[in-house]
């Protein structure tokens, strides 16, 4: 087999890249380790920046997004019994859209199928070869048969644990990492969201987040220890802990019910440089991880795809290598700004093991400052809706 662009990973990053390239007349093949049902069962982010929603619409993927997505013109910060609304529309003239990553992935699968795109599932033993030459290729096994895929370029969209970054010699990469001393315990429930917009709560017992996927599907999180056993968190205990961390006027409206999904996610910040090695390009979680506090994971992957797709289109359709040469630097510039914002939001809203009463008061003082300063609110809002590509 031969294709122009081989894409490792069939999540939203890989699917979006394949779709954009197809619309530019550039063929690609996606290799995915899991089944389609497995990919669609992943519970992930739900807050989309304006840049991502504009990109989806520009490439014919906005119909269901516009019909079912929930436009949010603000969000709440809760602390010390107070509620501060960050009015995104008034502060920036823009907004975010709540539309689950699973739904974005579903729309992308439908688009690739309608276009006859090639997505190979259940691939195993994937190995990348000759990535620093003009003729890279990939070997893999599917249905017990060893296959070879020759290509011009490889896009590594296969996540933090994928083979793409691992292919690059350690001597070439510089990695930066911070592992946070807590995780998020999250549940999905068929209950009415406690509020029309998201609530990020700072509390001495730990952070909490009230989010949603639809008008009858809620997504809630509370901060927990990284070594927690999820078996020790029955639904009743979760609801009690969540209610305690919310202002009373919010907690009184909390509708509880049985969880339909429950999981614990560790928090980390991770960046690897560069995001290119020869004809191998990293995108999304293969190159960077951010804590979910700032809602940047999927959005940051999408900005990578914006830069990478433009670079590949420039190469194939305009015979220019300028975009390829600039890809890593351009992507990393935006990555680091998003990493900074996610770190700041995490530091502001979570209870750290060593912060004590002093640290709690410092957080509350900073939140009070944000409440009194339009400039501080503008900076927060600009980062939340997403910096320009």
Residues 350, 206: Cα–Cα separation, whole Å: 6
> The tokens of 340 are what?
């900074």
Query: Which one is catalytic: 296, 307, 315, 327?
Result: 296
Query: Which one is catalytic: 180, 292, 315, 327?
Result: 292
User: 128, 138 in Cβ contact below 8 A?
Assistant: yes
Question: Which residues in 173-186 are b (16+ Cβ under 10 Å) and which e?
Answer: eeeeeeebebbbbb
136 is catalytic: no
Query: Which DSSP state fits 238?
Result: H
296 is catalytic: yes
First to last CA, the chain: 34
Question: Which residues in 204-238 are b (16+ Cβ under 10 Å) and which e?
Answer: eebbbbbbbbbeebbbbbbbbeeeeeeeebeeeeb
> The tokens of 80 are what?
């010390």
292 is catalytic: yes
The closest alpha carbon to 313, from 159, 153, 165, belongs to 153
Residues 345, 380: Cα–Cα separation, whole Å: 9
Q: Which residues have CB under 8 Å from 67's CB, separation 6+?
A: none
Residues 189, 375: Cα–Cα separation, whole Å: 37
Query: Packing angle between helix 101-114 and helix 12-23, nearest 10 degrees?
Result: 40
Query: Which one is catalytic: 79, 180, 200, 327?
Result: 200
Return the SS3 of 201. strand
- Whether a cis peptide bond, with omega within 30° of 0, leads into 174 is no
Length of the chain: 389
Ramachandran angles phi, psi of 105, nearest 5°: -65, -40
Tokens 């093991």 correspond to 353
The closest alpha carbon to 27, from 116, 109, 106, 133, belongs to 116
Ramachandran angles phi, psi of 197, nearest 5°: -125, 170
Active-site residue list: 72, 200, 292, 296, 384
């Amino acid at each position: 087999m031969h294709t122009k662009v081989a894409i490792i990973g069939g999540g939203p990053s890989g699917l979006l890249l394949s779709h954009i390239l197809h619309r530019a007349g550039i063929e690609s093949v996606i290799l995915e380790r899991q089944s389609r049902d497995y990919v669609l069962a992943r519970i992930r982010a739900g807050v989309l920046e304006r840049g991502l929603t504009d990109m989806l619409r520009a490439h014919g993927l906005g119909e269901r997004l516009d019909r079912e997505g929930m436009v949010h013109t603000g969000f709440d910060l809760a602390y010390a019994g107070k509620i501060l609304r960050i009015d995104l529309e008034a502060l920036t003239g823009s907004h975010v859209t709540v539309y689950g990553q699973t739904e974005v992935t579903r729309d992308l699968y439908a688009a690739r199928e309608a276009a006859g795109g090639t997505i190979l599932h259940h691939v195993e033993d994937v190995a990348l070869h000759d990535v620093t030459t003009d003729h890279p290729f990939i070997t893999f096994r599917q249905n017990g048969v060893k296959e070879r895929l020759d290509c011009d370029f490889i896009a590594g969209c296969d996540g933090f644990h994928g083979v793409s970054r691992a292919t690059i010699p350690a001597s070439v990469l510089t990695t930066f990492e911070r592992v946070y001393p807590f995780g998020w315990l999250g549940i999905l429930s068929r209950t009415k969201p406690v509020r029309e917009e998201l609530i990020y709560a700072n509390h001495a017992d730990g952070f909490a987040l009230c989010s949603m996927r639809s008008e009858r599907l809620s997504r809630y999180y509370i901060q927990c220890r990284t070594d927690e056993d999820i078996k020790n968190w029955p639904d009743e205990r979760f609801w009690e802990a969540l209610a305690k961390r919310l202002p009373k006027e919010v907690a009184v409206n909390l509708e509880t019910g049985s969880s339909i999904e429950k999981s614990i996610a560790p928090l980390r910040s991770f960046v690897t440089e560069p995001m290119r090695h020869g004809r191998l390009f990293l995108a999304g979680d293969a190159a960077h991880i951010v804590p979910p506090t700032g809602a940047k994971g999927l959005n940051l992957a999408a900005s990578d795809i914006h830069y990478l797709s433009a670079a590949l289109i420039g190469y194939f359709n305009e015979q220019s290598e300028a975009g390829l040469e600039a890809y890593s630097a351009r992507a990393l510039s935006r990555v680091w700004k998003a990493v900074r914002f996610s770190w700041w939001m995490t530091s502001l809203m979570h209870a750290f093991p060593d912060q004590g009463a002093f640290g709690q008061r410092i957080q509350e003082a900073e939140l009070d400052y944000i409440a009194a300063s339009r400039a501080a609110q503008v900076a927060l809002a600009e980062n939340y809706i997403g910096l320009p590509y």
